[in-house]
Amino acid sequence: MTTKDKILAASLQLFNEEGYANTSSKTISEHIEISYGNLCYHFPKKEDIVIRLHQNFMDELDESLLNLKGEIFEFDFMLRSLENMMNLTYKYRFFLLNGYDITLKYIKIKEKTIERSKVYSNIILKISQFLIENGYMRELNEKQLKLKIHGLLIIFNSWVFDKTVFSMLSSGIKTDHTKYYIQLLFSMISAALTKKGVKAFASAYDRILSQ
């Protein structure tokens, strides 16, 4: 592992565990036992580290999105791809946990975040159209579909905070497992599914849950 890669790995760990605001470049250099000057040689400012980590996040996410778009007709693959995407967002969770502050400070990250949300919406729309055309989902008007997609995006964008802060709900339900949130997303669309759709999704979900 190169020094640059060590810096990025340590930064991601510290941003996730200690908090973005609580971690300085000096803290990162001390964590991996290199001089502050050596760190600044690779990343002159903390902002440079954040931007690079965000680019890595987007690159890894793009790969998962391509897989999801290419296999929407396979329910097992679709749910596995969703699980992979959620694990990826948890890997880079400090972006979601500090989303408001980061998007205010980094305009380019804000722009990419908005752009990514549009990509998500288009993918969900494509999946919804496939489900409707193949009898898995009942017909929805444009307003209903947009509300459904928005609801799914809200859960997808906030589940990391819920998992991090509320690992155990007052009801006693553990929320520390990604599959729980996939089940929550499924519950958001289940009312719009036909009997055929409920059966297909439930079967695929049960197989993934048992793995």
Q: What local confidence, expressed as pLDDT, does residue 68 receive?
A: 62
Task: Give residue 206's pLDDT.
Answer: 73
Least confident span in 62-66, 134-138, 192-196: 62-66
What confidence tier does 14 reach under pLDDT thresholds 50, 70, 90?
Answer: very high
At 211, is the pLDDT very low, low, confident or very high (cuts 50, 70, 90)? low
Task: Indicate whether 47 pLDDT > 90.
Answer: yes
Q: How many CB atoms lie within 10 A of CB 60?
A: 16
Q: How many residues does the chain have?
A: 211
CA gap 190, 174 in Å, rounded: 21
What is the full DSSP assignment across 4-64?
A: HHHHHHHHHHHHHHH-STT--HHHHHHHTT--HHHHHHH-SSHHHHHHHHHHHHHHHHHHH
Per-residue confidence band for 122, with pLDDT thresholds at 50, 70 and 90 = confident
pTM equals 0.84
Which burial class, exposed, middle or buried, applies to 175 when counting CB atoms under 10 A from its CB (0-12, 13-18, 19+)?
middle
Residue of higher predicted confidence among 110 and 182: 110
pLDDT at 174: 55
Give the pLDDT confidence score for residue 173 in this predicted structure.
Answer: 53
Cα–Cα separations (whole angstroms), residue 207 to 73, 101, 131, 184, 211: 16, 39, 20, 17, 7
Across the chain, mean pLDDT equals 85
* pLDDT above 80 for 48: yes
What average pLDDT does this structure show over 82-105?
A: 90
- The 10s digit of each residue's pLDDT in 145-178 is 888 888 888 888 888 988 888 765 555 555 557 7
| Residue 168, strand partner residues | 174
Cα angle 204-81-101, degrees, rounded to a multiple of 5? 130
Specify the 3-state DSSP secondary structure of 127: helix
pLDDT in tens, 54-91: 999 999 988 777 766 555 556 777 777 788 888 899 99
Q: Where are the alpha helices (DSSP H) in 71-106?
A: 75-91, 94-97, 99-105
Residue holding tokens 């993918």? 123
